Amino acid sequence: MGRIIEQISSYIENGALVNIERTNIEEENITGFPLLVSDNLLAMSKIFDFHDEGFLVIRLKEVTDVYSEFSAFYEEVCVKEGLKKRANESPIKDVTDFVTVFRQLSTYDKFISVQCELEDSELFFSIGKILKVDEDIVHLKYFDATGAWQNEAREIPLDKITSVAIEDYYSNVFYKYVKQY
């Protein structure tokens, strides 16, 4: 783990565009600019086909490799599209642990999505707003795929969470059309 943290720290310092490889997760590869790293988590911007996909916080224990081997053209286009500058607008300023991340997002106005991407998880994907953060659980007011808010809050154990997305396209579209609870 130490080697990966050192690599990510170096890429953050140099403002490099990176590819993150993860294991045992459906979306194994993620491209973007790394922003913050701790012993447990990585915050980064997410880019797909030269398109801003918001911000992502992932657990480091699923990260198997990180590298910056993009063509000069690809990175130049990302920079000219404002994606490197956009990376500095992240609402996440501390990635010590998920408690810290969720406390920062507890006053965030838009929706967030929480993913538990490992096979043994019953809670694969949830989208909504944070109601409360405990030391081991986040309580999320969430809605289903039809935009209907659910009556009960979803209690998501922090140790099952593999990623948190903020300002991603999916959440932003729902934010425009789902009525506030």
Distance separating alpha carbons of residues 51 and 72, to the nearest angstrom? 17
The candidate with the shortest Cα–Cα distance to 115, out of 48, 57, 39, 35, is 57
The domain that holds 37 is classified in CATH as 2.30.30.100
Q: Is the dihedral of CA 166, 171, 175, 181 positive or negative?
A: negative
pTM, to two decimals:
0.93
Residue count of the chain: 181
What's the pLDDT tens digit per position in 92-145? 999 999 999 999 999 999 999 999 988 666 668 999 999 999 999 999 999 999
Q: Are strands 125-133 and 41-48 parallel, antiparallel or unpaired?
A: unpaired
Residue at which a domain ends, from 64, 89, 114: 89
Q: For residues 49 and 31, is the Cβ–Cβ distance under 8 A?
A: no
Q: For residues 90 and 35, is the Cβ–Cβ distance under 8 A?
A: yes
Q: Are residues 136 and 155 in the same domain?
A: yes
Q: Are residues 9 and 84 in the same domain?
A: yes
52 pLDDT band, cuts 50/70/90, is: very high
Q: Which two tokens stand for residue 145?
A: 């795929």
> Dihedral of the CA atoms 135, 116, 40, 42 (nearest 10)?
-120
Which domain covers residue 125, as residue numbers? 98-177
Q: What local confidence, expressed as pLDDT, does residue 123 receive?
A: 63
